[in-house]
Structure 1
Amino acid sequence: MMPKFEYSQLIKEDIQRLGNILEQCFLMSPGGSEIFFNSIGLENFRVIRVGEEVAGGLGIILMPQWWGGERVPMAGIAAVGIAPEHRGGGVALAMMQHTVKELHAKGVPISTLYPATQRVYRKAGYEQGGISSIWEVPTQSILVKEQSLPIGAVVGNHEIFYELYQQQAKLNNGFVERDQSLWERIFKPDEKEGIYTYLIGCAEQPQGYIIISQHQDQDGSFIKVRDFVVMTTAAAQTFWNFLAKHRSQIQNVRWKGSATESLTLLLPEQTAKQKSTSYWMLRVIDVVKALEKRGYPPGIQAELHLEIQDDLLAENNGKFILSVANGRGEVTSGGKGEMKLDIRGLAPLYTGLFTPQQLQLAGQLDATETAMFAATQIFSGASPWMADFF
């Protein structure tokens, strides 16, 4: 017999059980799950039961995400954990399917997550949507001598950082509008760790910031850039000059960036290397809302005839016409269905992670030449990446 799954909000009686599951899943010490509960909020957790027993759970973080210069309401999925004795029985997939249906009922256009494994999320309609890369460069090789702007330590009030981040987020596809818990994660030090914060430019006309911590591992000493914003060329030069000044004590600098990191153009040689790369995943929850709330290149006027298949959400099935003009999109039902794809294939098209040609080669879509040309225009833009992990 197939097991019976029951999906529901977390109740008080389930907190300890779910906490134990998450601590085992994420190699945490006893009581460590409070970090998840406190940052995400108990009301935002869901559990799934097999019979009477809680078999797993997850957290939902509602936060807008920037696409084409517009904020799109998004649900981040975090702290997904299934008890070991219930793995392999379809519990995780059932939980994700229930979550997707709940989000659709609430009118959420898109959802993103960082997968430990892709297969279960793909079955729920998620696909690769963007990249998060860790870069490393030896301090001795930075050699940027220009410090065009003043840089000074900031203690206490970080409001100016929030404003600068918002300015940069709007320009980057995939950035989220951070809530307080994400900011606290940046500023909260780990044990035996100091965090140092600096403003680039004068207080009256700030042009960026850098937040760092210093570490030692088997490879030597390094600076971890926990967060940064550079809004001008002068700020980028000052950013590198400041990091180069640590070369007498620090061997390397590590920072999180996109797969194509434009900051490396300021370095004299190709000494910056990607230390690791991970793909985060996105699911289009509501086709019409997702396409209409996204921004598009302002100089484009085009029409794309889509035919979407979604095995989980019937409302997303059918033919749609996406009409783009003046940086905005309008969706109407019907059309020729010149680009056929399932809900998974729509995700990397929507984000611009891959071109329509690349997606067609990967078997993610089938389209006419006219539709391919229109989609290439419509979904062009900055390579999607995310500075935050959840």
Structure 2
Amino acid sequence: MTLEFEYSTLANLEDVKRFGKILEQCFIGTPADENVYINKIGVENFRVLHQQGQVVGGLAHLPMAQWWGNQKVPMTGIAAVGVAPEYRGTGAAITLMRQTVQELYAKDVPISVLFPATQRLYRKAGYEQGGAFCSWEIPAKSIQLTEQPLPVVAVPFELELFNDIYQQQAKLNNGNLDRYKAIWQRIIEPDEKEATYTYAIGSADYPQGYIIFSQHSTEDDAILRVKDWVVLTAAAARTFWSFMSNHRSQIDKVRWRGSTVDALTLLLPEQTAKLKFTNYWMLRVLNVVKALEKRGYPPGVEAELHLEIQDDLLVENNGKFILYVANGHGEVTSGGKGELQLDIRGLAPLYTGLFTPLQLQLAGKLDATETALFAATQIFTGTSPWMPDFF
């Protein structure tokens, strides 16, 4: 069954209440939880579908940016995608996503990112795996790094200061966010069952990182959960571990979020840190030209890549493009030989560097000449894409 739907903003209090009930049921929450969430994100950032005047589903837009090649690319995160159970299977969810993609394109947003509950739905709207969201765990007693090169000082959280420190690290890691305000709030605001502790690494005039964490007791273990962290120097990295080790008399395990290949683990004496889980977020290139021109590239690379792209939803992205890269920047023109052919979904993991061009070709996600594969490998090389934030 396919119904006719109307896509719009949240227009009135009754619609807000109705969508709050849908979210409550979709995400096993409470009315209070969903009201707080809607207010934090901002009512103006929600979109809903109506069917005969009734709200049947909706989602949230999170306007922010993402770091790619040391450059911030404007990005809209998609969150809280929910459809009332009685309207599932009617085409509501894919209608919601396609309308969102078209709206964001009309607003000149280059890329969009989301965390999928199911990949099939979002692939129909042009999204594909873009990067990793990982949690690591280590027994506190196995850290065994006691030297602390820098001071660690308990400090009150100041958004401007902490965001400045965070951005210095984020710009070096492909996929890290220029965070939306609600993401910062989730990090620093404790729930009723936890306390959050905030420490600065280094001196007040030269901060070299920070640690924000909470502590939890389970039936079996005491867990120190690092909610957010930054280390900007080798000394800060060693200090991070010595500070974690100092909790070993009361804490059994330390958990933190990092990349699938996390440089922090290289400092450990043994391979006792293990990935607890790995999920992949999905990215959609909304505007081919803007997405390719706004990201950064390796500064020593000068190369030309001839692309041919197919996008079944946004016809403006269809056709042949030439990407010319030099001095860390890219310029896109129409035309060319179309030596690397792919659809908009295949472009996502190429753009992010989650997989190499050769891997994508072997997976059937692109078809390219040897020359184009070499150029694409040079152009899209970089750190493995990841982010520590879930939305």
Question: What is the TM-score when the length of structure 1 is the normalising length?
Answer: 0.98
Question: Are the aligned partners of 2:3 and 2:91 in contact in 1 as well (CA < 8 Å)?
Answer: no
Aligned pairs for 1:323-362 (under 5 A) are: 323-362=324-363
CA pair 174-150 structure 1, distance change in 2 beyond 3 A: same
**Residue 55 (structure 1) aligns with:** 56
**Residue 102 (structure 1) aligns with:** 103
- Does 1:188 pair with 2:176? no
**Residue 265 (structure 2) aligns with:** 264
Task: State the alpha-carbon separation in 1 of the partners of residues 219 and 284 from structure 2.
Answer: 38
Question: Are the aligned partners of 1:339 and 1:368 in contact in 2 as well (CA < 8 Å)?
Answer: yes
**Residue 120 (structure 1) aligns with:** 121
CA pair 106-157 structure 1, distance change in 2 beyond 3 A: closer
Task: State the alpha-carbon separation in 2 of the partners of residues 311 and 228 from structure 1.
Answer: 40
Aligned pairs for 1:83-98 (under 5 A) are: 83-98=84-99
Task: State the alpha-carbon separation in 1 of the partners of residues 122 and 263 from structure 2.
Answer: 31
The farther-off stretch of 173-182 and 20-29 is 173-182
List runs of 5+ in structure 2 lacking aligned partners: none
| DSSP 3-state at the match of 2:49 | strand
Aligned pairs for 1:144-293 (under 5 A) are: 144-293=145-294
**Residue 389 (structure 1) aligns with:** 390
List runs of 5+ in structure 1 lacking aligned partners: none
**Structure 1 residue 155: Cα displacement:** 2.2
CA pair 237-310 structure 1, distance change in 2 beyond 3 A: same
**Residue 5 (structure 1) aligns with:** 5
Question: Are the aligned partners of 1:297 and 1:380 in contact in 2 as well (CA < 8 Å)?
Answer: yes
Task: State the alpha-carbon separation in 1 of the partners of residues 297 and 144 from structure 2.
Answer: 38
Question: What is the TM-score when the length of structure 2 is the normalising length?
Answer: 0.98
**Per-residue deviation, residues 298-338 of structure 1 (Å, max 9, x unmatched):** 00000000000000000000000000000000000000000
**Per-residue deviation, residues 23-73 of structure 1 (Å, max 9, x unmatched):** 100100123211221121101110012333211000001101110000101
**Per-residue deviation, residues 261-315 of structure 1 (Å, max 9, x unmatched):** 1100000111000001110000000000000000000000000000000000000
| DSSP 3-state at the match of 1:64 | strand
**Per-residue deviation, residues 345-382 of structure 1 (Å, max 9, x unmatched):** 00000000000011111110000000000000000001
**Structure 1 residue 159: Cα displacement:** 3.3
**Per-residue deviation, residues 3-25 of structure 1 (Å, max 9, x unmatched):** 11111111113111101000100
Partner AA of 1:42 in structure 2: V
| DSSP 3-state at the match of 1:47 | strand
Task: State the alpha-carbon separation in 2 of the partners of residues 237 and 100 from structure 1.
Answer: 44
RMSD between aligned alpha carbons? 1.0
Aligned pairs for 1:55-74 (under 5 A) are: 55-74=56-75
Question: Are the aligned partners of 1:153 and 1:196 in contact in 2 as well (CA < 8 Å)?
Answer: yes
Aligned length: 390
**Residue 371 (structure 1) aligns with:** 372
Partner AA of 2:299 in structure 1: P
| DSSP 3-state at the match of 1:32 | helix
The farther-off stretch of 320-329 and 28-37 is 28-37
Question: Are the aligned partners of 1:338 and 1:368 in contact in 2 as well (CA < 8 Å)?
Answer: yes
Partner AA of 1:43 in structure 2: E
**Structure 1 residue 179: Cα displacement:** 2.8
| DSSP 3-state at the match of 1:33 | helix
Task: State the alpha-carbon separation in 2 of the partners of residues 156 and 239 from structure 1.
Answer: 18
| DSSP 3-state at the match of 2:178 | coil
Task: State the alpha-carbon separation in 2 of the partners of residues 180 and 232 from structure 1.
Answer: 26
Question: Are the aligned partners of 1:3 and 1:51 in contact in 2 as well (CA < 8 Å)?
Answer: no
| DSSP 3-state at the match of 2:33 | coil
Partner AA of 1:9 in structure 2: T
Task: State the alpha-carbon separation in 1 of the partners of residues 362 and 218 from structure 2.
Answer: 42
**Structure 1 residue 158: Cα displacement:** 4.7
CA pair 158-74 structure 1, distance change in 2 beyond 3 A: closer
Task: State the alpha-carbon separation in 2 of the partners of residues 3 and 162 from structure 1.
Answer: 45
**Structure 1 residue 192: Cα displacement:** 2.5
- Which runs of at least 4 in structure 1 moved beyond 4 Å after TM superposition? none
| DSSP 3-state at the match of 1:101 | helix
- Does 1:318 pair with 2:319? yes
CA pair 157-53 structure 1, distance change in 2 beyond 3 A: closer
Task: State the alpha-carbon separation in 2 of the partners of residues 53 and 358 from structure 1.
Answer: 46
The farther-off stretch of 157-166 and 330-339 is 157-166
Partner AA of 2:376 in structure 1: A
Task: State the alpha-carbon separation in 1 of the partners of residues 159 and 94 from structure 2.
Answer: 41
**Structure 1 residue 176: Cα displacement:** 1.0
**Structure 1 residue 87: Cα displacement:** 0.8
Question: Are the aligned partners of 2:133 and 2:279 in contact in 1 as well (CA < 8 Å)?
Answer: yes
Task: State the alpha-carbon separation in 2 of the partners of residues 282 and 308 from structure 1.
Answer: 16
| DSSP 3-state at the match of 1:226 | strand
**Structure 1 residue 219: Cα displacement:** 3.6
Question: Are the aligned partners of 1:19 and 1:31 in contact in 2 as well (CA < 8 Å)?
Answer: no
Question: Are the aligned partners of 1:36 and 1:79 in contact in 2 as well (CA < 8 Å)?
Answer: no
**Residue 22 (structure 1) aligns with:** 23
